[in-house]
Amino acid sequence: MCGGCVGTEYPERGTTCLEGGSFLLNFVGCAQCGRRDFVLVSNRAEGLQGEEEIVTYDHLCKNCHHLIARHEYTFSVVDDYQEYTMLCLLCGRAEDSVSILPDDPRQMTPLF
């Protein structure tokens, strides 16, 4: 992975967890060839580890195939919530939790 290719290493992305694609706003250019072009997604792998779905892939420079970053996305269901995480030098780090119930108990206001 290459810190010279990105503006900010592991930027905080809040709840934006990407299962595919690239965060091009953080790509400043390839440290190896010096060009700023599209980023390729390569070596995509999907699998299960226990109850967790994991998607990994590499971000490569379109021109010289330099490895910019490795991307990891996870999805799992914990209790009544869908849990998402993302960790990538280019795309950043993020976590999200979404209720699978019609009404999210965390958003309800107490009556008393």
| Domains within the chain, CATH numbers bracketed | 3-99 (2.60.40.4240)
- Alpha-carbon span 72 to 17, nearest angstrom: 10
* Among 20, 28, 21, CA closest to 55: 20
Q: What is the chain's pLDDT, residue by residue, as a tens digit (112 residues)?
A: 788 999 999 999 999 998 999 999 999 999 999 999 999 999 999 999 988 999 999 999 999 999 999 999 999 998 888 999 999 999 999 999 888 877 666 666 565 5
* Among 87, 21, 75, 11, CA closest to 49: 75
pLDDT for 69 equals 96
Residue 62: how many CA atoms within 13 Å on its side-chain side?
A: 10
DSSP-derived 3-state class of residue 62 = coil
> With contact defined as beta carbons under 8 Å apart, do 75 and 53 qualify?
yes
pLDDT for 3 equals 83
pTM of the model as a whole? 0.86
